[in-house]
Amino acid sequence: MYLYGASGHAKVIKDALESQGIKVLGLVDDDPQVESLDGMPVLHSAEGLSPVIVSVGNCVARRKIVEGLGNVAFGTAIHRSAIVSLSATVEEGSVVMAGAILQPCVHLGRHSIVNTGASVDHDCIVGDFVHIAPHCTLCGNVTVGEGTWIGAGTTVIQGVKIGKNCCIGAGSLVLKDIPDGCVAYGSPCRIKENGSYEK
C-alpha cells in the first residue's frame, strides 16, 4: 500500500494498516521539502504506484488529489481494534481508525474517514470525502452528505440528515437537519453560515 500525503494523518493510517499486517511500501507528498516521515523516505510522484490511500484529512484537498491521480487502484485501511459489522460497507479509499465502530448496515462512501473512537450506528449513510473526527457519535439512521466535516466529539441524534460540504463544529449536539454548505456548531447545533463552506 502507498500513502499520498506525508503528515500526521499518514502516521495514523500507516498504524492502522500495520495493525492488520499490511506494509506501507512508500509515502508520496507534493511538497518537495518533505523528505521523510517517521524515518521513511518520501517520494514526490505517485506515477505507477498502486494501491493508494490519500492520507490527507482536509476533505477538499483529498478530493482534488484523488481526482488528480486518475485511474489508479485505491485501498482501504481498517485498524484491527475497530469494530466493523459484517453488514457494513466500506468503499475504496476510506479509513476506519483505532477504536472506531461501524454498526450493522452502515454505508461509508469513497475516500472518507471515521477517525479514532468515533461511533457510527445502524443504517447510517456517510457520503464520499467525509471526515468524521475523533470521538463523534452518529446515532442510527443518520445521513451525512459528501465533503462534510463533523468536528471532534460531536453527537448527531437519530434520523438527522446533514447536507453536502458542511462543517459541524467540535462538541456540537445536532438535533435537526442541516442543509448543504453550512457551517454550524453549538449545543444545540445552530447554523452560523450558509452556502459558503469549503473545507
Q: Does the annotation mark 135 as catalytic?
A: no
Cα separation, 54 vs 194, whole angstroms: 29
On whether the CB atoms of residues 131 and 149 are closer than 8 A, the answer is: yes
Selecting among 9, 79, 111, 122, the annotated active-site residue is 122
DSSP character for 74?
A: B
- Beta-carbon contacts of 114 under 8 Å, excluding residues fewer than 6 positions away, are 82, 94, 95, 96, 97, 100, 102, 108, 120, 126, 132
Distance, first Cα to last Cα, the chain: 26
Longest dimension (CA), the chain: 48
Active-site residue numbers?
Answer: 122
